[in-house]
Structure 1
Amino acid sequence: MSPPAYQWAIPVGVVGVPVGLYVTFILLGAFPFFQRHFLYAHRLNTLFWHDINKPEYWGFARNQVTAFSLNTVDGQTIYSWHILPLPTYLKHEHKLQAQQPGFSDDITKTASFRLLKDDPEARLVIYFHGNAGHIAQGYRPESYHTLTDSSRYHVLAIDYRGFGKSTGTPSETGLLHDGAAAVDWAMHVAGIPASRIIIMGQSLGTAVTSAVGEHFALQGIEFAGIILIAGFSSLPTLLSSYAAAGFIPVLSPLRAIPPLLRFFQSFIVDKWKSADRLAHVVSLTQTRLRLTFIHAKNDIEIPCHESDKLFKSAAGATLHEELDDDKFSSWKEKRTLQRDDGTFIATANAEPDITIREELVPYGGHNEVMMSAAVSLAVMRSFGLDAE
């Protein structure tokens, strides 16, 4: 005797609702408008109750942070923070306390800007954050504190177009323009040479960093360092294993059906091919390159093997032969310091003066890894402090 129909209703519903939602999500994601909202999540922010023109809320000293805007080549206005290092702030505290707080319509007239521009030894970290939120959301202020509280490094952080108070709508080309505008401002307005600038990104920001690095490498411009934290090789590759918030799958359920996976990957409009871009940066290097990848072993959003792919592509560009996966693994093993907790440091050196370093740290997850000592040490190495 067959069970009553109502006994099947609950199991079917339990399975059918999530499947239906997933199919709807995938179909909507095929349209660029929805896809970019899913990818960048730029509308998810706390501007309703946080005034990002008052950085003191996040523990910064009065006028340690100057909020201002950058202009891009395509006419967008990009909201930015210039963050002074506390040791510099301490020396000029009286002058900075007297500065008008809040958003600056002309940052070049501020005392904080002069402390950057007039210092012939000033070093600057340009910081590209991940998706969602705004310049001061979540862990980001704490990561700025990590970089500036006890160092002499200035930080320039931006909100990409469509994020926070910035104008426009995000896209791959657009975010490249935003990142390039930050570098152009640093070099041509603040007067900081590329040799004293590090470009650094986390998550989505690693893709922006890679694109910006390639953009300027094509012009023969080499930075003090390029640092990627929790990076990924390309967006189509990432989405085949990515889980939003650590548990919401994107394309990973389709991996069992490769043709279907490739079909949906073909609809991805912003490819963000960081592995290819970094290999190009390496091949264009004429003088010096410090390229660092940092990933946490317990990152549940972007798996740490994505940084392995970035290392392979970048380090592979220094070789004069094509190595398959097995040969490259053997080559890398000879250049790797393995730790007993399963983490490691791999270092590849090449001519003219190229150092490519991958570090897997045990903790930090996807976001808190930004506060890891590994990040601060990477900044120091990029600026050559390990050679002093």
Structure 2
Amino acid sequence: MRTIFFDPVNGAAGDMITGALLAAGADEEAVIRAMTSVVGRPEISRVNRRGIQATYLRTHAGTGNRTIEEVLSRLFDADATSEAKEMAARVFMRIHNAETRVHGDHPHFHEVGADDAIADVVGACTALLSLSADAVSINPIPLGRGTISSAHGLIPVPAPATAYILADSALVTRVTEEETGELVTPTGAALLAEFSSSFPKGGSDGRIRSIGYGAGTRNPEDRPNVLRVMVMEAEGENGFIDILETNVDDVDGEVIAAVIARLHREGARDASAIPIIMKKGRPGHLIRVICRREDSKRLAFILAKELGTLGVRCIPSVHRFIADRRIITVRIPEGDEIGVKIGSWQGEIISVKAESDAVLAAAERHGIPIREVKRLAEDAARRELQGWISDA
């Protein structure tokens, strides 16, 4: 079980979150591609923040105000996976809802409507999803103390929109005694809130597989302005899952598809629908959900509420073995860079699979069959992996 652990001890902003995830091993090429499609290629550098080496992102974007419709339109044109764009859209809806509570009906975003904020959000969502997380854990969010200058003049920190985003989330906050200025931006708060709601909360035990620090723009004298991310993996007790099942014969396919999508958002590790023949020869579906034990009751209720089923079977405490996963980026002869997910078991490679959205985009761009692009990318990955093995 892989948990992405966020430690915003000195705050959080979009660029800090993305930088920390990249430093912890996220797919850099996918993140750069997504951000570049919004605002141009970001500058990624290593900086020192009070003795800590951290990754710093700079987009060189101008300022601008946009409506929520304009933000979402620009977002959905980004070169990112549909899952990343949908997650990013939910992040901006959190910001939009918070600003509505502060200002009433408001026609435009201010600071968070600029290109750099859109790029930061889609980049952070792409980075997190590329790490194949099973769970997300977030330490308490520091509120900060003092005032900042905004489009509305001097305002207290946390900014009103940030406070509402935090209040509407499950995130835990902590009071900051010293004068710090703004520690958490609306974008940073909305990203962490969405990450927390999109994944189950991880346990506290596990081995640290990688650590990354993301740097903020400021470099104060009294503290390292960084956010830390740790990728943790646990085995044993955390390797047990429950399987939920129910049969339905009076629910159409669109509803089933929507329920499966919701189950994934609510923390299911997997969900599927299997065609079956039920009593009296009626066609139906077996809905199967794989989830953590602590999520079983909640997800069973979702099945009952959404599908109208009167019973959900639970096969408890099934142990599952989980392969190690990582993503490498390869270049095919046509020049496109494609991410390939590598699965390994006890050091042996068992799976090489090209990222489907990138394969489809390359196939459409060059007018060649999808299966051919997939073959080229996976063959390139195998050659690269063979090189690593030979070097070892």
Task: Quickly name the TM-score band, shorter chain normalised.
Answer: under 0.3
Relative CO higher for 1 or 2, CA cutoff 8 Å, sep ≥ 6?
2
Higher strand content, 1 or 2: 2
Q: Could you state the TM-score of these two structures normalised by the residue count of structure 2?
A: 0.22
